Structure formats: structure tokens, C-alpha cells
Amino acid sequence: MIVVNTSPLILLGKQGMLHILRHCFEHIAIPASVSGELLKKKESPEALAMKQAVCEGWIYVEEITVLPFLSNTASLGKGEKEAISLAHQHHCVLIIDDDTAKTFAGVAGVEAHGCLYVLLLAVKKKFITPTQARILVEGMIRDGFYLSTEVYAEFCALVCSDGK
């Protein structure tokens, strides 16, 4: 099981690839605030994909009490605080793209990775090809995902070496 924050759900959902999470991790927990944030755009591809995943039972929504040291942290949103707290409670990996949130997750003892980690894992598991992974990243960038050219180049190199 893993915990996923809003950004990866939106990015993968917009690409029609939310099911990559299922193939990589099987069961996904999300905090209630992440679900609420995602469902604000009721008919968006990502909201529809998440609703379907919840109906199928591989994404489930959980209420969580935020860890005390995160409660007054102004640099994190409610969803990020809850996602870190939920991953801490379940002693599992967190998928979150925000670097500040990853730092706070580390302080909480939570292993945190972003969308690129998920795509790399999907290539390793041969669920997608290296070419598909690059196309997905390019689509995510078009949809607003920020990625430096250096990180993109490193990702492409890793995907190609792992995809062989």
C-alpha cells in the first residue's frame, strides 16, 4: 500500500493513466482532503478516474488527524499535511511531487517520491515502455508539471537504462 497526494492523481488522471498506480502498488490510500480537492472539478478526467478507482476498491479514502508538528506549518497545504500524516500512520511510501512536502515527510520518517518514481517503476515492471514513459512525462509537462531540463534528461537516461 502507498499514500498518494493530489498532484500525482491529477497528473496521471489527466493522462488517462491513473491505473499505473494500481499496477505498481495495488492499494492506494488518500486522505479525505485530497479526495475533496480532486473532486472540485467533478467532470474532469482525473476526478472521473479517481471515482472509478474508489468504486473498484483499489483507491480508498481515509480520515486522518494531522501530525502535531505539521499542524501549524504554513508552507504545506491541508492535503499535503494529511498525506504525510497518513503515510506516517501506515508506515508506507508517500507519492507527492512538492519538494517542501518531501522534506517534511522525511522529518516525519516517511519515504517520499514523486510521479517520476512511479513511471520509472512502471517501466521496470514492464507495464509501460520507456517511450510511453517519456510521452507521459511530456504530456504531464504540457498539463503544468514543472520539470527542469536536467531532471528530465536524468529521468530519460534512467528509463532507457531500466527499460532494456
The CATH number of the domain where 93 resides is what? 3.40.50.1010
Across residues 32-56, what is the average pLDDT? 93
Separation between Cα atoms, residue 155 and residue 82, nearest integer Å: 28
Mean pLDDT of the chain: 94
Residues 129 and 97 in one domain: no
Across residues 122-127, what is the average pLDDT? 95
The Cβ of residue 92 has, within 10 Å, a number of other Cβ atoms equal to 17
Copy the grid coordinates of residue 129: 515502455
Residues 72 and 35 in one domain: yes
Separation between Cα atoms, residue 51 and residue 36, nearest integer Å: 11
Q: Does residue 162 register a pLDDT over 80?
A: no
Separation between Cα atoms, residue 51 and residue 103, nearest integer Å: 30
Contact yes or no for 50/39 (Cβ under 8 A): yes
Residues 64 and 131 in one domain: no
Residues 40 and 67 in one domain: yes
Please, which residues have CB within 8 angstroms of residue 68's CB and are 6 or more apart in sequence?
Answer: none
Across residues 77-91, what is the average pLDDT? 97
Q: Does residue 161 register a pLDDT over 80?
A: no
Q: Does residue 107 register a pLDDT over 50?
A: yes
The full 3-state SS of 39-85, as one line of letters, equals CCCCCCHHHHHHHHHHHHCCEEEECCCCCHHHCCCCCCCHHHHHHHH
Share of the chain above pLDDT 90, in %: 93
Residues 83 and 156 in one domain: no
Domain assignment of residue 146, given as a range: 116-162
* CA distances in angstroms from 153 to 143, 150, 158, listed in the order given: 19, 5, 9
Residues 22 and 68 in one domain: yes
- What is the per-residue pLDDT for 160? 83
Residues 75 and 127 in one domain: no
Residues 19 and 68 in one domain: yes
